[in-house]
Amino acid sequence: MKLTIEIIRQKDSASAPYKQTIELDALPDDTVATLLNKINARDDLKDINGNPVGTIHWQCSCLQKKCGACAMRINGSPALACDTKLSACKRGKLSLEPLRKFPTVRDLIVDRSLMMENLRSIHNWLEQSAHHTGKAADLCYDASRCIQCGCCLEVCPNFMPDGDFYGAAAFVPASRILSQLPKGKKYDLVKKYGKHIYSGCGKSLSCHHICPAGIDIEHKLSNSNAVAVWKRFFK
């Protein structure tokens, strides 16, 4: 298939972004990840203005939607490059941009350290041995699948990088911990939940539909709220 690719390029964090357009033949069954690898293996590729394309910087690791490294904006929506086939491109057009809610490092690479920082800030760990209940087992499994890609934050109308609300990338992992805390103590995570999760969420649930791991995010949110806000611990 003939493909016209528009990529937002950026040399480094201090430089201004610019758009580069490339036209090439591609295989519809290839993913965006495969396409990027193929482009980077070529040293002769030029854009439509005759400028060399060079190496397009992006992140990837597992190539099978288990690690979240390759999240980027694909045709306007956040998605994993390894999970998006070129056949999904309408009218032979593909646009690639870095996620916008995180600072750009270079080309399609963004610095997502903020997600790690937010999980540290809400003390997202078990303060004591896990309290396993049959009821919570499926929830724990589903919540533990979060790949910290950041797609949920990208579409969230309430998450801002410098804001107090930490979004699904924090409350999904938190729901695992909250479901394994026995009733009794005043846990740090419970104390911090209100400010950083409950009071900031406008319940648009755009995160629920975008999650590349297919996590039932709404379910995680309602369960976390039940524990952290209404103190309905799992028994």
Q: Are 85 and 34 in contact (CB under 8 A)?
A: no
- 172 contacts 217 by C-beta, under 8 angstroms: yes
In the complex, minimum distance from the CB of residue 141 to another protein, in angstroms, rounded to a whole number? 5
Longest dimension (CA), the chain: 67
- The angle at the Cα of 189, spanning 99 to 167, to the nearest 5 degrees, equals 20
Site string for another protein, 146-185 (x = CB under 8 A): xxx------------------------x--xx--x-----
Pick the closer one to another protein by CB: 41 or 49.
Answer: 41
CA within 13 Å, CB half, 148? 15
Contact flag: residue 40 with another protein (CB under 8 A): yes
- Residue appearing with tokens 């193929």: 38
Q: Could you give the CA distance from residue 170 to residue 11 in angstroms, rounded to a whole number? A: 30
Q: Choose, by CB under 8 A, the member of 45, 130, 226, 229 that binds another protein.
A: 130
Mode of pairing for the β-strands spanning 18-25 and 2-9 = antiparallel
Residue from 45, 54, 100, 123 binding another protein (CB under 8 A): 123
Give the per-residue contact string, 48-87, with another protein (x = CB under 8 A; - = no). -----------xxxxxx-xxxx------------x-----
Residues 80/147, Cβ–Cβ less than 8 Å? no
Instruction: Figure out which of the listed residues 6, 24, 37, 218 binds another protein, where binding follows CB under 8 A.
Output: 37
- Residues in contact with another protein by CB under 8 A are 13, 29-31, 33-34, 37, 40-41, 43, 59-64, 66-69, 82, 105-106, 109, 111-113, 116, 119-120, 123-126, 129-130, 132, 136-138, 140-141, 144-148, 173, 176-177, 180
